[in-house]
Structures are given as structure tokens and as C-alpha cells.
Structure 1
Amino acid sequence: MHLSSLLSKEFFLSVLGPTSFKKAIEEAEKLSESLKLRYEEVEVRKKLEEKERQEEKKRREDKTEKDGGRASPKGGKEIKKVKEQKELINGPSKAAVPAGGITAEGLFKIMKDQGITVIVMDARCLRDFQDSQIQVPTQNVISVPEEAINPGITVNQIEANLPDASRETWKRRGFVDYIILLDWFSSVTDLKLGTTLQSLKDALYKVT
């Protein structure tokens, strides 16, 4: 490699002469330095432009947020109202509650609230319901036993198989604020086609 470089240098010296060769080296160095400065200038310009874009974006976002806050105070109140209602139902639970679900604490709160009407439909078997029934004097808890529920069933078919004590409250299901479905262990994420609670939910949503 050293020999090749030496031969190349001697070759160019013989062709260009010492003066021209030295001048060519100087010009190449100047060009290299010029290109380096231009590259650095381009990089600096890019960074400045990016910084300006970010600042402009932040100004627009701040302005939009400020204008939105002034233009829709009612909207802010509505959001707060929905948030408070969710907290009333679910409580300040540490774990996120899936949409449509409720914590035990949230259920207890709404059942104790005399301004809210609730029917709790307990889909455990009738014997379990009788052994460990939820009891809140101002609210209604009825047995809708799992043995009365099948996939594709209708509300009329369910009603025909309800315990006598559940039927009057069952008929008033359309006039309450909330209907809560429960069994021993299910959560909203467990509601799958063919499960007891999903079949009960489907029946309640059907138009009969």
C-alpha cells in the first residue's frame, strides 16, 4: 500500500510538476474545508428550522386549547358531570374498570343512594341466591337463576321460569336507572356468546 502511494505521488509529480502538484493539493484542501463548512451550515439551518416548527406547533396547540376553554364552558361542565357520574358508580378504583362494568364499591354506593333506582339480577343458582343474597332495604335484588337462562332465550321465557318472588320486580325492569347483572365470578371481559350473563343481557336488549 505504501509503495502504491509512493508510485502515485511520483507519477503525478512527473505529470504535473512540483508546483502544479502542490497547488492541486492546496485547492483540494480548500475545497474540502469549504464543503465541510457548507455541510455544517446546512445542519445548523435544519436544526433551527425544526426548532421553529416545534415552537409554532406548540403555540397553535396552546391557542387552540385556550380558545376551546373559552368557547365551550358548558362542554367542560358536561365532561365534569360524566366524570363525577363514573366516579359515583365505580368509585376511585385503582384498577381501570372496563366499560359497562362496575366495582363492588361502586355497586354499594349506588344501591345506598336513594335518588337512584336499581334492580340487581342475581344469575347464580337459586340455592346460592337464597344462601347469600345481597340485602339493601331501598333497592331490589332478584334471583334470575342460571337454570332459567339459555342462549337465545327471550325475556318472556325467562319470566316463565322465575321464582315467584322475582316476577313483580322483573316486570318493572324498564323503569329503573340501572340494571346490574351478576354471578359469582364474571366480569365484563368474561361476557362471551353462550355464557349465562351474556344470554341474559341479550334477552334484555331484544325487542319482544
Structure 2
Amino acid sequence: MNRLYHFPLSPFCRKVRLTLAEKKIEVELVEERYWEESQDFMRRNPAGKVPVLRMGSRFMADSAAICEYLEETQPSPPLLPGSAEKRHEARRLVAWFDDKFYREVTVKLLGERVFRKLMGTGYPDSTLVKEGAKAIKFHLDYMAWLLEQRRWLAGDSMTLADFAAAGHLSCLDYISDVDWDRSEAVKDWYAKVKSRPAFRSILADQVPGFPPSRQYADLDF
């Protein structure tokens, strides 16, 4: 059995989970409190980060590398476009969300509101929370601009870029930190992603002490 060591509110784990589910690769989910740095987990990934995917006897780390591996070894359905130019655009947007969006928004909202308590590192920094709440508006507007020109974020077909974005936004939606009324285009895009069978297990996620927002699992939000 394939096994994914993950944490439910990790956007990087969610990107891999969506990719696995879209490609109909069965996997056992093993929740990993990676910040505790257990010896077993550090042997699987000395970087001490989730996700880690075990396939057979092989352990693979880093969400981008895992998704690329799955795309190369399980090419159907494709999650990267056919041309080099379009693949670059999809990869650019994956990096946008997993780097820029993560640093400017996810860390400052999810990190302060949830992970500080989980990790026992003190109380939320209100300044960082305000910065994250301001930054997400810019990112939602950028997504809206992209979606005015395209059916999906990177073009006319769904790609890893959509899963990267949905990974982050679904985590923030869990704690009700996304203003879906800011852009009808972004809301419609998320509704399309959220309605896919690959999303079902993510909508069932529960983190003790942090109940999901009212609309989190609602497909007609």
C-alpha cells in the first residue's frame, strides 16, 4: 500500500493528495506532527517536512518533486499541459503559490491562528495576521485577473497550478480567512475544484481544537 505522511492543514500535502486522487492512486494517509521531529519521521525525510510519499520501498519528499514524479510515472490524466510554454506557466504558478503566497499569506494567517497553538510557540502576532489579511486581497485579485482570460489558472485545462492554489486556499477556508465575495471568478473557480471527487477527503478533514468554518465542506457555498 502506498502511504502519504501528511498533516491535514498543510497546503503542500493537500496539493499531493489532490494529485494522487485525480490520478486515482490509492494511498493510506498517516498524520504526522512533523514539528515534533520524531526519529522515525526524520529518517524518512531529514528535512523534517511533510509531505513524504512512500511508494513500495521508496520514500519521496518535497511536494513539487512528488507531483512531478507522479506526472511522469502516471501521466493520465495529465496535470501539466503539452507545450513547453504552457508547462512553464503552470510551474510558474505552482511556485507562486508555494513560495510567494505561502510566505505572504498562509504563514501569516494559518501559521499564526493555528500552528502557533498546535506547536506551543505562543500567541498569534496580530501584526502578522493583519499583514496576511491585507496580502490575500492582492493574491485574490491576481487570480481574478488570470481567470478573466482563462478557464483555469494556467490556461484552458486544469493543472497542478490549480491544485497548488486550492491547497492553500482550502486551508485558509477551513479557518474562514477567504473573502469569496471579493471575486465571482475566483469563487466559481474554487467551486469547480472543490466539486471534484479528488477533493472529497480534504473536505472531511478535522483538526482537533479547530472546527472547520461553516462553509468549508459546502459545495454550494
Shorter-chain TM-score: what band? under 0.3
Look at both structures and tell me which one has the larger radius of gyration over its CA atoms: 1
With normalisation by structure 1, the TM-score equals 0.23
With normalisation by structure 2, the TM-score equals 0.22
Instruction: Say which structure is richer in helix.
Output: 1
